[in-house]
Structure 1
Amino acid sequence: MNKQHKTIPKFADEAQERAFWEANDSTDYLDWSKANKVTLPNLKPTTKTISLRLPQHLLDSIKAAANSRDVPYQSLIKIWLQEKVHVH
């Protein structure tokens, strides 16, 4: 069963294209079963700054652990949090 797809119109600008896709179903214009998977290796996830209050002795211990691993302590905290989240 081959579905005949509509032709995608030409757009004057990005705003016009955005409005078009908000109002139309892309499956009327594209055969997504033939789409190729794309990997974008240089994209970095969006980060959010937070404030975290820790007892001084705990922060000192984290900094010492990070120093022994030769990584910044904030990176080590992120690694530990990520490992803990993936356990569950």
Structure 2
Amino acid sequence: MNSKRKDIPVFRNEAEEREFWETHDSTEYLDWTQAQRAIFPNLKPTSRTISLRLPQHLLDAIKVAANARDVPYQSLIKTWLHEKVQGS
């Protein structure tokens, strides 16, 4: 274990910092045993748009179910998919 850590350079911009960390081992600069888990409660997960073909009768039934719950049908689809994946 390295008791003397190297000083992290001062970077002019994010690109310079990114380039530095792509070519250097952070364990020479940071004591990762002292790291703490960070929680970012307000971050939204990255979403990706997809195309999904559904039979018209199925889409109509989903829209009826969403309307009964007063939620957008796409949100209901996402909720149902999430529940199904987490339950498996």
TM-score scaled to structure 1, two decimals?
0.90
Question: Moved runs in structure 1, 4+ residues, more than 2 A?
Answer: none
* Structure 1, unpaired ranges of 5+: none
Q: Distance in 2 between matches of 1:69 and 1:32?
A: 47
Partner of 2:19: 19
Aligned residues: 88
Unaligned runs of 5+ in 2: none
8 Å Cα contact 2:2/2:28 also seen in 1: no
Q: Please report the RMSD computed on the Cα atoms of aligned residues, expressed in angstroms.
A: 1.4
With normalisation by structure 2, the TM-score equals 0.90
Distance 1:80 1:73 in 2: 11
Q: Percent identity?
A: 67
Classify the secondary structure of the residue corresponding to 1:53: coil
- Aligned residue identity for 1:12: R
Q: What letter matches 2:73 in structure 1?
A: Y
Q: What is the CA–CA distance in structure 2 between the aligned matches of 1:48 and 1:20, rounded to whole Å?
A: 30
